Amino acid sequence: MTIADNAAADSPSAVSSGSDFISEFIKEDLVRGRFNYVHTRFPPEPNGWLHIGHCKAFFIDFNMAERFGGKCNLRFDDTNPEKEDISYVEAIKRDIKWMGYDWEDREYYASDYYEYLYDLAVKIIKKGKAYVDDLSESKISEYRGTAVADKNNITVTPPGRNSPYRDRSVEENLDLFARMRSGEFADGAKTLRAIIDMTHPNLIMRDPVMYRIRREHHYRTGNSWCIYPMYDFQHPLSDAKEGITHSLCSLEYEIHRPLYDWFIREAEVFPSRQIEFARLNLTRTVMSKRWLLKLVQDRHVSGWDDPRMPTIAGLRRRGYTPCAIRSFIAQVGIAKTDSMADIAFLEYCLREDLNKRALRVMAVLRPLKLIIENYDENKTEELEAVNNPEDENAGTRHIKFSRELWIEREDFEEIPPPKYFRLFPGNSVRLRYAYIITCTGFDKDSDGNITAVRCTYDPETKGGNAGSSAAFDNRRIKGTIHWVSASHSVSIEARIYDYLFNTEKPMEIAPRADGSAGDFTDNLNPNSLEIISNAKGESSIANTAPGDVFQFERLGYFARDPDNGADGLPVFNKTVGLRDTWGKIAKKT
């Protein structure tokens, strides 16, 4: 079982979302008798893969239901056939399950409600609260009006204008709407709009569109429909059909709540209640499927599951665990106002989790040959190493030691800088889990490049599992370095990831040097991926499973990638470094 599997097996309720305003609203509703049960839903649109922002949404949806002994549905709001696909549905379900949540038999699709929604639209028409409009999309926008700033720079919304088709009779509207459904009119020729108030200060309430004509093939209903409901219409009515008590939405839907309530009231259906919370914003990334899709389509990344992406699939491939993600979301908390979470805090939560779970191994990313001149070239011995000092049940492993080893190139300097405690001529260091060695010289090629380091070892200094000098050795050894046996290691490909964007807020876009408008992709980090094709690791990591995460001692945490690299080498993605940036930030503040 991989670390990811173990983390997914943890109960989601083990991470409490703490005290928050949503639970207070729900408690009040139960006490006052507005509802006598709690039923939530997570309603993704299948037009892209889920990202960590969606994690917060379904974390709240599922955990609120569990906290109050209720249920949570998974519903795909698939009423926009131009952008939706079954592959997105499967990806969404896979990601939610990996995060540790299960909706059991409560999987629904808004596309299954098309007849129900159509009937409710007819009902609203019969009440004289909806009409068929012939205005084009641009004219509808023009008639609705826009918010402007007055002379005091205060935003105001001048009244809009009624459509000339607003006063059609109920009979005419019913006839036209039926003909819209039958396919008599061209795409965009007509819409069905609610009759509310074209002077309303909230532009959303100015006769919003309920249905539009689109001859698009739907991935589930095929070509059986040529009219599709708008999100603001189907969302509350789908909630009502499922008996959803609390429709928990991100904060951008707050302005839509009056319309949510209007459709429920006019359709005379179950009175679901909408409550909004602040969405999750994260530094050095973008949190919108539209922008993430652009990164994929423009090939700035390898796909939705690129380890640099904030998608759940990308985080999983990089080596994140469900437990770490849930811990991060829980500690960020549920608020009513937007804020920006530092990605360093997400990394802190991951490091805290992996430190307890990940087995330790040694690997060398940029190998340099180390030759122990007084070690028998025909000898090989096994040394004992600790698998995880944080977990006494993890036990130990045996690693091969021989005359020729690989060490990190940066662990040797011909002329060392000040306070350099690793290898240089005449200096001694400890080889982790092994012996103290003393550098006696080095070899160079014709170009002056160092090709090998030579040393001697002290056979009386075996041990040092803690990484410090042995207690019985009275020399003051300040440096400990890692290594792998040259004849017993395996070649691997290491992929070192940095942040995808150079700036903390990638959507803050500056004009380009030529004066043209900038784009958020201008803030991409051109050095966000480094591929090291000839790294070396302990032989035990060759046959590990995709998703297995290890701590490469002194280097960081690395996860086995599903793909192989150049020449079929196993690939390990750097998950996160050992340095705790967030810990330092928190200590300073």
Q: Which two tokens stand for residue 361?
A: 């191994």
Please tell me which residue in 123, 279, 369, 409 is annotated as part of the active site.
Answer: 279
β-pair partners for 371: 404, 454
* The one-letter amino acid at 442: F
Cross-sheet strand order for the sheet of 484-485: 480-481, 428-431, 436-444, 450-458, 367-372, 404-408, 484-485
Q: How many residues does the chain have?
A: 589
Residue 3, SS3 per DSSP: helix
| C-beta of residue 342 within 8 angstroms of C-beta of residue 283 | yes
- List the Cα angle 305/307/313 in 5-degree steps: 35
Which residue(s) pair with 218 in the sheet?
A: 222
- Contact partners, residue 243, CB within 8 Å, separation at least 6: 39, 270
Q: Find, among 363, 345, 361, 353, the residue nearest to 390 by Cα.
A: 353
Contact between 228 and 12 (Cβ < 8 Å): no
Contact 54, 44 (CB under 8 A): yes
426, β-bridge pairs:
none
Decide if 279 is catalytic.
yes
Q: DSSP letter at 100?
A: T
3-state secondary structure of 523: helix
| Pairing state between β 107-109 and 71-76 | parallel
Q: 518-530: b or e for each residue (b if 16 or more CB lie within 10 Å)?
A: eebeebbeeebbe
Roughly how many angstroms between the first and final C-alpha of the chain, as a whole number? Answer: 39
**C-alpha gyration radius of the chain:** 31
Residue 137 · residue 143 · CB < 8 Å: no
| Residues forming a β-bridge with 250 | 277
Contact 501, 524 (CB under 8 A): yes
H or E element in which residue 314 lies: helix 312-318
Residue 289 catalytic? yes
Of residues 490, 384, 494, 371, the one with CA closest to residue 423? 371
Catalytic residue among 289, 318, 351, 422: 289
Q: Read out DSSP for 150-197?
A: -TTS-EE-------TTTT--HHHHHHHHHHHHHT-S-TTS-EEEE-S-
Whether residue 383 contacts residue 399, with contact meaning beta carbons closer than 8 Å, is answered with yes
Task: Look at the block and give the residue holding tokens 């080095």.
Answer: 442
Q: Taking a C-beta distance cutoff of 8 angstroms, is the pair 363, 327 a contact? A: no
Residues with catalytic roles: 45, 279, 289
